[in-house]
Amino acid sequence: MSRLLSISRPTLYRWLQHLETSGSTTPQPRRPPPQPAKIKDWHKFKEFVDSHGDKTQKELAQL
């Protein structure tokens, strides 16, 4: 069967195991869900960066 699908036997076994455990043939999601942005007020953040334009990111983080 793996030759027919041009996949390795371990891949076939993983697919079958996934089908048995989840009951679905859809692939598992690979990425964690996106995290919410830490910056809530973008307008205020832009003003802060503009007022400290001569500083690096590391220096801004310390402020």
**For residues 28 and 13, what is the distance between their CA atoms, to the nearest angstrom?**
15
Q: What local confidence, expressed as pLDDT, does residue 44 receive?
A: 93
Q: What local confidence, expressed as pLDDT, does residue 47 receive?
A: 92
Q: What local confidence, expressed as pLDDT, does residue 3 receive?
A: 87
pLDDT tens digits for 8-61? 999 999 999 999 999 888 888 888 888 998 989 999 989 988 998 888 888 888
* Alpha-carbon 1 to chain mean position: 33
Contact 28, 19 (CB under 8 A): no
**For residues 12 and 16, what is the distance between their CA atoms, to the nearest angstrom?**
6
